[in-house]
Chains A and B, each alone.
Chain A
Amino acid sequence: MTKASRWKDSSLGVVGVLGLLAVWEALTRSGAVNPVIFPPPTAAVAGALAKVPPRDLWEHVSTSLLRILWGFGVGAGLGILVGIASGWYRTLGALTQPVIDLIRPIPPLAWIPMAIIWFGLGEPSKVFVIFLGAFFPVVTNAYKGMTGVDPILLRAAQTMGLSGPRLLLQVAIPAAMPDIATGLRVGWGLSFGVLVAAELIAADAGMGFMIMHARQSGEIGVIIFGIILIGVTNLLTDYGIGEVIRRKVGRWHAT
């Protein structure tokens, strides 16, 4: 795939937004759809920016991003470590995987009340839940990647004198990268969803909070603006991660 076509595909999401917005604008302007329930985008954005001054907006967005960076950072980091170690050392894997398999089905959001009990109402509780959102996909995919490494590659490396940690670092992990990369991508997406939900339910700042707060004052414009903002942020960050992955792994592995 050429760079041009990749760019085209990724910006399609944004095109979709614009297209939808244009149609929406037309419908509400012409009166086909009641503008009170469904304000036109221009009015929504203008109204949103009026109700939520740019400085507050920036605070919300940055709070959210900070949370997710922390949560994802720790979650993905730990996930990779545990996943790789469990996949490489059989005994460790036999111990960790069942525990992980048992806990994984519990949706991260279900942990919110306990997280609040443990960590209070502040940042750590949110970061914890986001951590959970990132951890499980990453650890599962890292484990799968490691256990799925073609034994031929390992044997070939051994005939060239590699063993132990060097074998792990120079052969096994690179071979497992495609799966690890997938895990990171999925984990990010999940983290994002968890972030938004966590902020809706139990926060006093952040994009999710912003929308929830607007609901209480009945400001639909702000809500819609927030939803789109979140969506676009998600798209852009996902594209960013995708690009990084493509550059590192994409050359030799067609995903």
Chain B
Amino acid sequence: MKRSGATSPEGAPRSRGPALAAPRLLGAAFVAGLVLLWQAASLAGVLKPFYFPPPSRLALAFWELAWEGFPEGVRIGTHILITLARIGQGYLLAVGVAIPLGILIGRSSVLDRLSLPIITFARSVATLSLLPLVIVWFGVGELSKVLLIAYGCFWVMLTNVIAGVKYIDPLLIRAAQTLDTSPAGIFVRVVLPAALPRMFAGARVALGVGFMVIVGAEMIGTIQGLGALIMEARTYYRTDISVVGMVAIGLFGFGISVGLERLERVLLPWHRGLESVRR
């Protein structure tokens, strides 16, 4: 996949600007510049710190969260762990069921056709719209949040697993057949490995969904967790804490996504080669 850097396709027309020596450097400098501008504007009184907490304020707020905790002494570490735990449980539950089920459905055209309407509809249900229902059935505790995350992650993962198993190059299967491989052998040694890239893609998207859902789920009925933190801070007019919470979620979401990408590169070393050749 083309890295979304600022590099244009090879031999791009000169009309689009001078060649950049180090686009990354430029980008980083720009970001740093913006942050400095932000800080300066706040000091100069142009940006009110309440509405746009400057980096200095954010650093202090982070410190406060790390040592004293907010609200009621809950430290940032606890918030982070609780949020991650909720996502983790929901995610693992979803993926754990989606993989075997998806493989089953993907291999059977009957099941595939039967499940398609159900899956299509279930996916169109906005996960968070289930929040009130889940609360009525299961209360405002942890279970509700985990189930909600599981719901969101499940359908995305399922669709991708099914697609991965369904759309395998038939040529590969033919090749395996000419090599005296039994149907079971073909399934384990050809179908599954060939489906892995797609399953990983699904895993990454599902994780993104998990992060999206948890923020909404935590904004109601709890004071622990990053989503709760962001929401609670507002009632105390602590915008600086809200923003720290936002940044924290963004960082973790990004970090875990990168982590998954690294994992994929380790587990599927051949896939990158394929992609770079295809370009």
Contacts and interface: CB of A to CB of B under 8 A. Distances in A.
A90 B17 CA distance: 7
A203 to B, nearest CB: 13
A111 B231 CA distance: 9
A22 interface: no
Max chain B Cβ within 10 angstroms of own Cβ: one of A9, A98, A155: A98
Contact of A110 (B4, B117, B246): B246
B28 interface: yes
Contact of A117 (B226, B239, B247, B254): B239
A88 B12 CA distance: 10
Contacts of A102: 31, 250
A95 B27 CA distance: 5
Contacts of A71: none
Contacts of A220: 133, 136
A106 B50 CA distance: 20
Interface residues of A, number: 77
Give the most central of B16, B20, B26: most A CB within 10 Å.
B16
A236 B117 CA distance: 14
A17 B30 CA distance: 50
A212 interface: yes
Chain A interface SS verdict (over half) = helix
B17 to A, nearest CB: 5
A110 B249 contact: yes
Interface string A11-23: 0111111011000
Main secondary structure of the interface of B (DSSP, over half): helix
Interface in A113-127: 113-114, 116-118
Contacts of B19: 90
Interface string A143-173: 1100111110011001000011001000000
B6 A113 contact: no
Nearest to A155: B11
Interface in B215-231: 215-216, 219-220, 226-227, 230-231
Interface stretch (B73-81, B120-128, B178-186, B267-275): B120-128
B154 to A, nearest CB: 15
Contact of A113 (B13, B133, B242): B242
B117 A19 contact: yes
Nearest to A11: B117
Contacts of A224: 133
Interface stretch (A50-58, A192-200, A243-251): A192-200
B242 A20 contact: no
Interface in A97-113: 97-99, 101-103, 105-113
A214 B239 CA distance: 31
Contacts of A113: 230-231, 233-234, 239, 242
B136 A90 contact: no
A211 B216 CA distance: 15
Contacts of B230: 110, 112-113
A187 interface: no
A19 B118 contact: yes
Given A19-B118, A90-B23, A201-B219, A230 B15 contact: no
Closest 8 CB pairs of A and B: A16-B117, A98-B27, A94-B6, A215-B132, A113-B234, A106-B250, A13-B120, A16-B121
Interface of A: 9, 12-17, 19-20, 37, 87-91, 93-95, 97-99, 101-103, 105-114, 116-118, 140, 143-144, 147-151, 154-155, 158, 163-164, 167, 192-193, 195-197, 200-201, 207-208, 211-212, 214-215, 218, 220, 223-224, 226-228, 230-232, 234-235, 238
